[in-house]
Amino acid sequence: MLSIQNVNQYYGGSHILRDVSLEVPEGQVTVLLGRNGVGKTTLLKSLMGLVPIKTGSITLQGQAIHRATPFQRARAGIGFVPQGREIFARLTVEENLRMGLASRPASTPVPPQLFELFPVLRQMLHRRGGDLSGGQQQQLAIARALAARPRLLVLDEPTEGIQPNIIKDIGRVIRRLAREGLDGQRVAVLLVEQYYDFAEELADHYAVMERGAVVARGPGAQMQAQGIRQLVGI
């Protein structure tokens, strides 16, 4: 689904991403781990076109997207849930969900499957986003990214500041999306996460970043045997 090959990125004279390569297959969860400041969020911003890459390539379903605008990447099938959620606090839940359809025709309905995944959103449809709890806002942010039925879902630390029962619900949703999608079409999931146990539970594949480079990778089932918790120090 997604292929990142030999990506390099700089801020001023600082070499932030160093020959980063990563594959994210359809129907599976790929977890990206690493301490704060190693380049994970920069990689996601590069993937979304929010910062340009210096060299390398990014392809989605075999099509090069590394020169596309963020809007074009969203239209191509990438749903992005940024760190901190970034919902529209003054808009209602329904209006936030419709913002996720900005790249689709105006008549496109909000997928009813979103309310099956996150029942609380149906109950709070006309409540302002800023009045929701942190966990409810995170569910809204994920639902907004899913509204346009993306083929690739990118999540930047979705468990940050979230209560344990909501974390379990989010994990269940991520697993279901990878296997089934919203309408029977499997989704590729790229998950950046600091909560190690959550990451290990979901990972079909893992990669670890350090100083802007991928230093370890493998099947999720081998994370414990490979000492990944100790490697990333989380």
111 in a domain, yes or no?
no
Per-residue pLDDT, 221: 95
184 in a domain, yes or no?
yes
pLDDT mean over 133-139 = 94
Give the C-alpha distances (Å, rounded to integers) separating 163 from 50, 104, 135, 136, 137. 30, 33, 7, 10, 12
177 sits in which H/E element: helix 164-180
Burial (0-12, 13-18, 19+ Cβ within 10 Å), 27: middle
Per-residue pLDDT, 80: 95
Per-residue pLDDT, 42: 93
Positive or negative torsion for Cα 219, 192, 12, 57:
positive
209 in a domain, yes or no?
yes
Range of the domain at 38: 2-86+150-232
98 in a domain, yes or no?
no
pLDDT band at 103 (very low <50, low <70, confident <90, very high): confident
Per-residue pLDDT, 219: 97
Q: How many domains does the chain have?
A: 1
Domain of 161, CATH number, reads 3.40.50.300
69 in a domain, yes or no?
yes
In the predicted structure, residue 234 carries a pLDDT above the cut 80 = no
Give the C-alpha distances (Å, rounded to integers) separating 159 from 25, 34, 135, 198. 22, 15, 8, 8
65 in a domain, yes or no?
yes
136 in a domain, yes or no?
no
137 in a domain, yes or no?
no
Select from 139, 113, 112 the least CA-distant residue to 127: 139
Per-residue pLDDT, 67: 93
- Encode pLDDT of 169-202 as tens digits: 999 999 999 999 888 889 999 999 988 999 999 9
83 vs 5, residue with greater confidence:
5
